Amino acid sequence: MAEQHRKMSLDSGWLAARSTEVEFSGTQLTTTHPPPPPPTTSPIPPWMNALVPGTVLGTLVKNKVIPDPFYGLQNESIIDIAVSGREHYTFWFFTTFHCSLLENQYCDLNFRGINYYADVYLNGHEISLDKGMFRRHSLEVTDIIHPDGHNLLAVLVHPPNHPGTIPLEGGQGGDHEIGKDVTTQYVEGWDWMAPIRDRNTGIWDEVSISVTGPVKIIDPHLVSSFSDDYKRAYLHTTIELENRSLSTAECSVSIQVTTEVEDDICLVEHLQTQSLSIPSKSRVQYTFPELFFSKPNLWWPNGMGKQSLYNVVIVIDVIGFGESDLWSHHFGFRKIETYIDDATGGRLFKVNGERIFIRGGNWILSDGLLRLSKKRYNTDIKFHADMNFNMIRCWGGGLAERPEFYQCCDNYGLLVWQEFWITGDVDGRGVPVSNPKGPQDHDLFLFCARDTVKLLRNHPSLALWVGGNEQIPPDDINAALKIDLRLHPYFEHADENGKPIRELSPMSKDPSQYLDGTRVYIQGSLWEGFADGKGNFTDGPYEIQNPESFFRDDFYKYGFNPEVGSVGMPVASTIRATMPVEGWQIPLFKKLPNGYVEEVPNPIWEYHKYIPYSKPAKVHDQIQLYGDAKDLDDFCLKAQLVNYIQYRALLEGWTSRMWTKYTGLLIWKTQNPWTGLRGQFYDHLLDQTAGFYGCRCAAEPIHVQLNLATYFIEVVNTTSEELSNVAIEVSVWDLEGTCPYYSVHENLSLLPKKVEPIAEMKYPKSENPKPAYFLLLKLYNMSDYRIISRNFYWLHLSGEDYKLLEPYRKKNIPLMITSKVSVQGSTYIIQMLVKNTSKSQYRKDLPYEHSSSARLMDGLYGTDSVEAAHNGTDKEHELSWFNRIHRSFFGKSDGLKVSEIKGYDVGVAFFLHFSVHDASKIGYKEGKDTRILPVHYSDNYFSLVPGEALSVNISFEVPLGVNPRVTLHGWNYNAEHNIL
């Protein structure tokens, strides 16, 4: 994130009080009657410790003045602003800070986001802040700062002008009144979200003090351009400089570009200094001469290459003063192109000249009460990268996301589609039609939009701007955005030969002189290559589907689907942690006359927007395919089985038509900003569902899969490299632990960026196929048996179900788990090797065991170790194998532990999953969750066939003094097995 020189964040020590309960004015609060300092026990009413950045509701929850609105039905006990009136959520925020100035120094008080407007008092002086949630405020307070350095700051924050009311029937955006203001629109509630009672009133983003010399740097713009097939790059830079002094400033302005070659060792790529003169009390724009880079390290999206970043530092020195200001930002050399693909009609994206098949998700925001943090952002975005996604869409009813969000996307390679604050439900759609002219103040909307562009435009992850969700902005706003965000000629679409649509020269301006100029502006999410491209409601569907439907020709007929969604039930521990006992009741399964089942959830689930696992008349209940759910744990476990299948099939179905029918898709949605029960891959407590790992599997860059419509085995290669000398191993395993079908397809070559059908899966057509069975696909290199892709299915014959898996839970399959722990500060890194030690009878000439072990080699073990393990048949060889693995572990070791789960059956160890807990808490007590979250797993919800082993890496942080324990569960491992 860009940082001003000598910047101090004001993120602690704040107090808050309801305005109607404070008897003093802002002038008095910041002069003669400041609030008393908070006592060590509890605050003195009406003042309480405040959450800044944050919202009024966040502060009230923090102080337990109101209950947690995300727990059970407690949100219903919190008074809504429509009932209380705006004054109830109009709050004072107060803090003190130390800042003293030297001669010729200047001070700014900066607010990066206030909702909705505020009156600011500093040391008795009043400054009014204009309306608008998505605008920055930078106030020069040089003459107000106290000479002794002790300063008092009070901010009276007012809610949005049109908070609206919540109709009894709910709805998308409540009564839509919120759309009259330039603010978040989800706060009146949606079909996935309960209303936010204060409508996010507060100082919701960073507050800071920055001190500069006479000249200040404002909003630099960095742009890269390329030539010679990306072997030559140019950095274009334009800045604004403001001279606040009463005399002309003679300056030298320098730009330095460095790259990190090793930890804490940087290489200076460029250092350029220019002289200029800036008149007194004036602003000037300055464009640096372009900087040339030979063979730069490029920034690539996740799955395409490294996310190489350079550090750009701009310094302004004033003669007679010295360093006046400094600005820095991480920057990535990359070029994004996008256009409507002739073959599919979908919008196609290219990065650095290479096509990228978009597989990503829709994002609302991290937390509904805007309790945003760098740490949470890092977890959120790493989760998306772990799922092998390459794009996140910031939906128009949510936020213009923060620089910290974008910094994480830069680091992990997630392209970002950023929408402005228009949604069809709130702006121009519905009965009656809502706000056809959008927000009341169009000039305010455009000011916020332009300011947002300046805030975010230097991030390489930012891919495109979109006017709104399922709606375009009003005509005048849309026309202005098209002009403001027009592309520089260099960034206009080139044809397949790389030639621009029109000549690039003469260029009227350096590209960094544009507001953006590098990213396309699309007027709405259903226009110009998305959905039907014409604005008709053609995204979705949003419910459970038969898995094979995603592969059928008629499932979705447009090239790029910006929203397709499904279920998202979390694990049982999350339900217990977020709901009282009455919320632990599973749905009633109501049999309908047509043979389908309707799920009837309890009222708490319904309030939390539960979406059922059946669609009567179209999709039979997918949980009941496994038999009747007995209780909450059983229901949630079966829901995870469905989650995995559902989302893997969704992505595999789309990917099977890569470039022939589709250019991409975005799943609705990846997470919930509260404790919702639909459309998520991890819950609000940051525990992943099995759908997370279904996506991770399906979206890997090179992937072997089964087309559920044609029953052909396919290989998807989304990379730019051709694969040769590879093979696919196909093995079917029945519930008795035998392998009734086995085949190997060898000497395959796979072209880049292509889906290749390999062979039809013959087993279901063979004699006496089992009604339910397991299928394991492995794509591997023939030269060293290294596994490139592994995919495990559980399947049933047409007209059958998975009920035979219920008695399979009694199978007692032996496991051996070797683990090694490394601790770095508060971070635990655990490496696991999990092996199904049951022995199956099958032909000894098959290469199965060789290839199944190859995945373990990836960066951790040597091939000889695996051969020793899998060729050995006695305990001596097993111990030799684990000793070899022990020697291969790197870093400081806390010892190697081998855990065994005894068993006497032969078969698949099915649906294994780890979890991490606080060892001091035994079992679950109401209100006490033993889990340590978040945890990053290299794999989870996995299955192992007889003799197979898999490595799993686990990392997490623990609070000081907490000892973690790792447990293993599985379909046929009902007891809790403590591994560490």
pLDDT of 857-875, one tens digit each?
333 332 222 222 233 334 4
Question: Are 755 and 850 in a shared domain?
Answer: no
Question: Are 316 and 363 in a shared domain?
Answer: no
Question: Are 90 and 21 in a shared domain?
Answer: yes
Question: Are 376 and 443 in a shared domain?
Answer: yes
Least confident of 304-308, 427-431, 749-753: 427-431
Q: Does residue 784 lie within any of the structural domains?
A: yes
What whole-number distance in Å separates Cα of residue 800 and Cα of residue 643? Answer: 19
pLDDT at 457 over 70: yes
Q: Does residue 178 lie within any of the structural domains?
A: no
pLDDT band, very low/low/confident/very high, at 327 (cuts 50, 70, 90): very high
What pLDDT, on a 0 to 100 scale, did the predictor assign at position 737?
Answer: 93
Q: How many domains does the chain have?
A: 5
What pLDDT, on a 0 to 100 scale, did the predictor assign at position 552?
Answer: 96
Q: Does residue 603 lie within any of the structural domains?
A: no
Question: Are 707 and 837 in a shared domain?
Answer: no
Question: Are 28 and 132 in a shared domain?
Answer: yes
Q: Does residue 591 lie within any of the structural domains?
A: no
Calculate mean pLDDT across residues 379-388.
98
Q: CB–CB of 92/30 below 8 Å?
A: no
Question: Are 748 and 825 in a shared domain?
Answer: no
Calculate mean pLDDT across residues 218-243.
97
Strands of the sheet containing 664-668, edge to edge, are 521-522, 462-466, 415-419, 391-394, 358-363, 664-668, 560-565
CATH code (residue 81): 2.60.120.260
- Spatial CB neighbours of 544, under 8 Å, sequence gap ≥ 6: 566, 567, 611, 612, 613, 614, 615, 619, 622, 642, 646
What pLDDT, on a 0 to 100 scale, did the predictor assign at position 366?
Answer: 97
Q: Does residue 137 lie within any of the structural domains?
A: yes
Residues in the chain: 980
Q: CB–CB of 322/213 below 8 Å?
A: yes
pLDDT at 847 over 80: no
Q: At what angle do helices 442-456 and 475-484 cross, to 10 degrees?
A: 30
pLDDT at 893 over 90: no
Question: Are 479 and 399 in a shared domain?
Answer: yes
Helix, strand or coil for residue 929?
coil
Give the tens place of pLDDT for each residue, 608-653: 999 999 999 999 999 999 999 999 999 999 999 999 999 999 999 9
470 is known as an active-site residue: yes
pLDDT band, very low/low/confident/very high, at 42 (cuts 50, 70, 90): low
Question: Are 521 and 422 in a shared domain?
Answer: yes
Distance of CA 140 to the CA centre of its chain: 36
CA atoms 914, 916, 920, 924: torsion sign: negative
Residue of 177, 269, 563, 700 with catalytic role: 563
What whole-number distance in Å separates Cα of residue 49 and Cα of residue 56? Answer: 11
Query: Can you read off the two tokens belonging to residue 539?
Result: 């995204």
pLDDT band, very low/low/confident/very high, at 842 (cuts 50, 70, 90): low
Question: Are 362 and 258 in a shared domain?
Answer: no
Calculate mean pLDDT across residues 221-228.
96
What pLDDT, on a 0 to 100 scale, did the predictor assign at position 974?
Answer: 83
CA R_g for the chain: 29
- Burial of residue 925, with CB atoms counted within 10 A of its CB: 0-12 exposed, 13-18 middle, 19 or more buried: exposed
CA 590-591-594 angle, to 5 degrees, is 140
Last residue of a domain, one of 183, 209, 235: 209
- % of the chain beyond a pLDDT of 70: 91
Q: Does residue 834 lie within any of the structural domains?
A: yes
Per-residue exposure over 466-481, b if at least 16 CB sit within 10 Å of its own CB, e if not: bbbbbbbbbeebbebb
Question: 């330039």: which residue's tokens?
Answer: 182
pTM of the complete model: 0.94
Helix, strand or coil for residue 99?
coil
Last residue of a domain, one of 808, 841, 876: 808
Give the tens place of pLDDT for each residue, 665-717: 999 999 999 999 999 999 999 999 999 999 999 999 999 999 999 999 999 99
Question: Are 472 and 490 in a shared domain?
Answer: yes
Q: CB–CB of 688/387 below 8 Å?
A: no
496 is known as an active-site residue: no
What whole-number distance in Å separates Cα of residue 416 and Cα of residue 522? Answer: 13
Question: Are 435 and 294 in a shared domain?
Answer: no
Last residue of a domain, one of 514, 547, 563: 563
Q: How many CA atoms lie within 13 A of 106 on its CB side?
A: 22
Q: Does residue 266 lie within any of the structural domains?
A: yes
- Spatial CB neighbours of 85, under 8 Å, sequence gap ≥ 6: none
The full DSSP string for 33-81 is -PPPPPPSSSPPTT-EE--SSS-HHHHHHHTTSS--TTSTTGGGGSPPH
Q: What are the C-alpha distances in Å from 749 to residues 186, 701, 724, 727? A: 49, 16, 4, 9
Pairing of strands 462-466, 415-419: parallel
Q: What are the C-alpha distances in Å from 382 to residues 596, 774, 835, 938? A: 39, 31, 28, 12
pLDDT at 514 over 70: yes
Q: Does residue 34 lie within any of the structural domains?
A: yes
What whole-number distance in Å separates Cα of residue 852 and Cα of residue 947? Answer: 9
Range of the domain at 382: 347-539+556-563
CATH code (residue 825): 2.60.40.10
Give the tens place of pLDDT for each residue, 127-145: 999 999 999 999 999 999 9
- % of the chain beyond a pLDDT of 90: 86
Question: 């708490």: which residue's tokens?
Answer: 604
Per-residue exposure over 107-132, b if at least 16 CB sit within 10 Å of its own CB, e if not: bbbbbbbbbbbbbbbbbbeebebebb
